[in-house]
Amino acid sequence: WGRFLVIASEIDANIKSLDLAGIAIDTIDAAYDAAMAHVFKRNGWKEVDDAGPFGRGYTFVLDEIKRAVTLLDSLGVGLLFLAHAKEREIKARGQQPYSKIVPAMPPSACR
């Protein structure tokens, strides 16, 4: 994750000399996992519940991701996020369950 942030900062510092139409993040789910490991290590946590109740650990990880995405978004070039996919069964009240292809990340990270 640290390397990702360094590269994002270098792109930011040199954007005027770079001829970029866009930036592709391959893969955002791997970046999410790296951000999670970084946040856990920085705070001495072993699992997400160590941050406190109600998913606070996920909030810390999402804040870390948002910081990097905000920096990249401010560059004024296109952003493309690639992710691995997984199949998830959706159960809606009064309907038959169906499968949906979603990014291989926690649902809260996909909003």
Q: pLDDT tens, 56-78?
A: 888 889 999 999 999 999 999 99
Are 55 and 63 in contact by the 8 Å Cβ rule? The answer is no
pLDDT, one tens digit per residue, over 12-36 is 999 989 999 999 999 999 999 999 9
Residue 111: its pLDDT value, please? 72
Residue 31: its pLDDT value, please? 94
Beta strand segments in 15-73, E: 22-26
Residue 48: its pLDDT value, please? 78
Nearest to 75 by CA among 17, 11, 30: 11
Residue 83: its pLDDT value, please? 95
pTM for the whole structure: 0.82
State the Cα–Cα distance between residues 85 and 69, nearest whole angstrom. Answer: 20
Residue 58: its pLDDT value, please? 85
